[in-house]
Amino acid sequence: MTARLVVLMVSVLTAACGAGGTAIPEVSDARIGEPTGPNAALYFTATSNGPSDKLIAAGVDVADSVEIHQSIIFDDGVAGMEQLDELFLPQGASLVLEPGGYHVMLLGVDRLAVGQTVEVTLVWEKVGTMTILAEVVDPAHTMGH
Amino acid sequence: MAGTRQSHIVTRLIAVVAVGVVLVGCGRAVATGDLQGVVIESPQPKPSFTLTDTDGEPYEFYERTEGKLTLLYFGYLNCPDICPVHLAQIGEVFKQIPAVARDTEVVFVSVDPDRDTPEAIRDYLDRFDHRFVGLTGTEKELEEAQIAAGVPPAFTVGEGDGYAVEHAGWVIAYAPDGLNHSIYPFGTRQTQWTNDLQILVSIEGES
């Protein structure tokens, strides 16, 4: 009984924190590897503030088009990549986009300078559209140290 | 780069078995205990192959890199996620430690000859370090070079202009003694590169 009460209270708190009653995910660590070729990758961490959701699209002004991708490192070390329709953000958990895993690929990207910030629109299935700022970083620093 | 995924999986399995044999091999001629990459217990000699550099000239890999620490990587320019991380991390060590840069040859082999022109490869590598060597070749030459280096040959996946290339995700390090004492899979950290390149440049041959 006590446990159920705690769950209820957490629900109320979570709802209170959402902007205008919605549950927009919190996005942090948004970064784009400085473009070195025709394409660049955008990474970020999205943390759920409510029910599960799905990232269904993204947009930027600095590239011809945008796709959601997953890099795959096979057991034998071979690297591959595939396009996905959406990324799942579990309830109360985080969705992490990082090198070697999920990323938003910017195809036909403009030349961008390290330190520059880029406005990115993320489209979620439930909460809709949000705008974030991603910083352009040296590719050596996309995955940290 | 045609071929079924099945046949490539077989090639891969053979490569894995070969690596497995290498790993259980015995004997270690030099002190590689402080290396943080994947240490090859029975190091293999540097292969011999000739490809074309970004000036359009033949590049004899074995001869041109003899006596130098040589980092060999097979990748492609449209890859935004894995290839630039390796190259940028090595470039970072070059910036921090000029002695390593002086004694190291970084050789990037494009395995996407249809899209990656020599000019585009040069432009790409210059964004990391203008000393990096870029190579290309015919599909047959590239396949032979990959097999000579002990990596499964890359192949294309998907249709149209936006196809992806599956390729070996690791960098092979040949020390100045001409042996690959270690390899660097994707996920290698900057600090590991910095540590290992300083050790590897000083592994000299006995003769």
Yes or no, beta carbons of B124 and A37 under 8 Å apart? yes
How much of chain B, in percent, has pLDDT values that exceed 90?
A: 75
Pairs of CB atoms within 8 A across A/B: 110
Enumerate residues 6+ apart whose C-beta is below 8 A from A67: A83, A104, A105, A107, B162
pLDDT attached to residue B160: 80
pLDDT attached to residue A22: 65
The answer, yes or no, to whether ipTM is higher than 0.85 is no
Confidence of residue B8 (pLDDT cuts 50, 70, 90): low
- Tell me the nearest-neighbour CA distance from A40 into chain B, angstroms: 5
Q: Measure CB to CB from residue B186 to each of A67, A100, A140 and give the nearest one.
A: A100
> A80 — contact with chain B (CB < 8 Å)?
yes
Yes or no, beta carbons of B191 and A145 under 8 Å apart? yes
Longest C-alpha distance within chain A, in Å?
Answer: 58
Separate counts of helices (H) and strands (E) for chain A: 1, 10
Parallel/antiparallel/unpaired status of strands B69-75 and B133-136: unpaired
> What are the pLDDT digits (tens) for B13-41?
444 444 444 444 444 456 678 999 999 99
> A107 — contact with chain B (CB < 8 Å)?
yes
pLDDT attached to residue B2: 41
**Residue range B126-132: mean pLDDT, rounded:** 95
Chain A residue with minimum CA distance to B185: A77
Helix, strand or coil, per DSSP, at residue A77: coil
For residue B206, pLDDT beyond 80: no
Q: Enumerate the residues of chain B whose CB falls inside 8 A of the CB of residue A74.
A: 12
> What are the pLDDT digits (tens) for B71-128?
999 999 998 888 899 999 999 999 999 999 999 999 999 999 999 999 999 999 999 9
pLDDT tens, per residue, chain A with 145 residues: 334 433 333 333 444 444 444 689 999 999 999 998 899 999 999 999 999 999 999 999 999 999 999 999 998 889 999 899 999 999 999 999 999 999 999 999 999 999 999 999 999 999 999 999 999 999 888 875 3
How much of chain B, in percent, has pLDDT values that exceed 70?
A: 84
Q: Enumerate the residues of chain B whose CB falls inside 8 A of the CB of residue A60.
A: none
Cα within 13 Å of Cα(A61), Cβ side: 6
pLDDT attached to residue B162: 80
User: Is residue B33 packed enough to be buried (19+ CB in 10 Å), middle (13-18) or exposed (0-12)?
Assistant: exposed
Q: CA A81, CA B95: separation in Å to the nearest integer? A: 30
pLDDT attached to residue A14: 42
Yes or no, beta carbons of B91 and A140 under 8 Å apart? yes
Nearest residue to A50 (alpha-carbon basis) of A19, A4, A6: A19
Q: Enumerate the residues of chain B whose CB falls inside 8 A of the CB of residue A78.
A: 12, 152, 166-169
pLDDT attached to residue A6: 38
Residue written as token pair 């660049």? A40
